[in-house]
């Protein structure tokens, strides 16, 4: 079984992000990834079955780190609206902080084979569940409307973040993605709020 840990494993993951972002998945040869990682071509196969496994493992690694980070950042927050605002900011900050990763996640994964898309759909379920937990908590706490389906709300929240991030990646303008946090929050918060009123954007999030 291929190894899934260690310094070389992480180096290959980081190299794959850079190479796939620059050349695209189909032109990202294993030899290019190995050269970027500073390892022999054969070393790649000690950690990954093939290039498809590299991409799926890359997504699992980065998505897992992101979900854990978001969970840790929100664990002590009690206000569901603040949880929503911080989640939006964390999502956008992560992508803006690593444009190569943003290109891979927002563009290259969508152009991959069905088997890869199936693989990543299973991995992203943890993040979906986390968003849904926030929605359910907001309903139970009494801040979010009770007549909505949490799963549908989760799809709308993730879909909104995903679309805004994709537009940022594809844009020819160099603008601040995190600057979209408050506008996106205002739209989503209005739809989620029990009384339909926008809760003020929490202070300190954009500092």
pLDDT confidence of residue 9: 93
Q: CA-CA distance, 64 to 134, in Å (whole number)? A: 18
Give the chain's largest Cα–Cα span.
Answer: 60
pLDDT at 119: 83
Please report the pLDDT score of residue 1 as a whole number: 47
Which CATH fold would you assign to the domain 57-192? Tetracycline Repressor; domain 2 (1.10.357)
- The domain spans of the chain are 57-192
Whole-model pTM: value is 0.91
C-alpha to C-alpha distances, 180 to 88, 91, 165, 176, nearest whole angstrom: 9, 11, 9, 7
Determine the 3-state secondary structure of 53 from DSSP: helix
pLDDT digits (tens, 9 = 90+) for 88-114: 999 999 999 999 999 999 998 877 778
Lookup: tokens for 179: 């600057």
Cβ–Cβ under 8 Å, residues 51 and 114 = no
User: Does residue 194 carry a pLDDT above 60?
Assistant: yes
CA distance 44 to 113: 21
Q: Is the pLDDT of residue 78 over 70?
A: yes
**pLDDT greater than 90 at residue 121:** no
């Amino acid at each position: 079984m291929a190894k899934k840990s260690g310094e070389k494993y992480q180096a290959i993951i980081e190299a794959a992000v850079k190479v796939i972002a620059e050349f695209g998945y189909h032109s990202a040869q294993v030899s290019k990834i190995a050269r970027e990682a500073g390892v022999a071509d054969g070393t790649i196969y000690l950690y990954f079955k093939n290039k498809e496994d590299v991409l799926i493992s890359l997504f699992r690694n980065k998505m897992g780190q992101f979900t854990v980070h978001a969970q840790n950042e929100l664990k002590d927050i009690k206000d569901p609206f603040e949880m929503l605002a911080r989640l939006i900011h964390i999502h956008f900050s992560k992508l803006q902080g690593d444009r190569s990763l943003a290109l891979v996640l927002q563009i290259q994964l969508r152009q991959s084979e069905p088997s890869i898309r199936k693989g990543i759909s299973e991995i992203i379920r943890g993040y979906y569940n986390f968003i849904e937990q926030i929605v359910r908590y907001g309903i139970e706490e009494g801040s979010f409307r009770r007549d909505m389906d949490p799963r549908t709300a989760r799809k709308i929240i993730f879909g909104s973040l995903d679309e805004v991030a994709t537009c940022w990646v594809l844009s020819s303008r160099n603008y601040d993605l995190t600057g979209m946090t408050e506008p996106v929050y205002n739209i989503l918060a209005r739809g989620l709020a029990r009384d339909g009123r926008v809760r003020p954007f929490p202070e300190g999030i954009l500092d």
